[in-house]
Amino acid sequence: MGALPENIKIYLSAPHECPYLAEETASSLIIDPNLTIDQDALSFFTVNGFRRSGDVIYRPHCTQCSACVSVRIPVNEYRPNRSQQRTARQNQDLHIKATPARFEDAHFELYLRYQRSRHPDSEMCDPDPKQYRRFLVNDRHESWFYEMYDRNELAAVAVCDRLNDGLSAIYTFFAPEQAYRGPGTFAVMHQIKQAKALGLSFVYLGYWISECHKMAYKTRFKPIQGLIKGTWQRID
């Protein structure tokens, strides 16, 4: 992986309430937002435990907590469990189209429906598309949208970044009435399939916290690796 280049400026965010663990205070290392981030740079930062959210490249750096673990799936070793096989069957009727990241009204409308259903009190429900554009529509990176259609209706969108050694799963949103399909799980399975087809080795899933229930789905993809003390190693 190597050390971060010395000429890159890295900032430490102010402490804030942890969004995942109650009563914990969080802070992050943030890469200089003025730095040009191409695919090589994004790949380097990702393999070193950083994550992209919009234009921000960050990594948790908390004073008294190290619960956040970067995780990735080695796609050539992945074997779906019974639940994931069932999810694949439930979604085999979907038509999937890959497109470069771009703003479309249909995407944004689906995104708002998803947020209102799942996170009604979140700032992500903002009907002004500026926040959405900053978060997911970004022309500084090789980002892709996997559009999933149920007949002619847009059912889900999975957003990912292309890296040198894999795909980085950024976000998935879907129509609330399609939740029975397990679209989040299916989106990861589709990205595993795409990574294999592209000759890539990994699908990066961001951070996993063992005590956070909503992150438990990540370790259901077997095998999975975590970046622990600077080394990628299998998590059992």
What pLDDT shows up at residue 3? 54
What pLDDT, on a 0 to 100 scale, did the predictor assign at position 62? 92
How high is the pLDDT of residue 67? 92
Mean pLDDT in residue range 3-25: 84
pTM of the model: 0.93
The domains located in the chain, with CATH, are 72-205 (3.40.630.30)
Structure-block tokens of residue 86: 């069932």
What is residue 89's predicted lDDT score, i.e. its pLDDT?
97
pLDDT (tens digit per residue) in 141-158: 689 999 999 999 999 999
Burial 153-171, CB ≥16 within 10 A → b, else e:
ebbbbbbbbbbeebbbbbb
Beta bridge partners of 58: 30, 51
pLDDT at 6 over 70: no
Residue 171 CA to residue 148 CA, distance in Å, equals: 14
pLDDT tens-digit readout, 92-139: 999 999 999 999 999 999 999 999 998 877 777 778 889 899 899 876
Q: In angstroms, rounded to a whole number, what is the distance separating the alpha carbons of residues 72 and 68?
A: 13
pLDDT at 139: 66
Q: Rounded mean pLDDT of 172-195?
A: 97
Report the percent of the chain where pLDDT is more than 90. Answer: 74
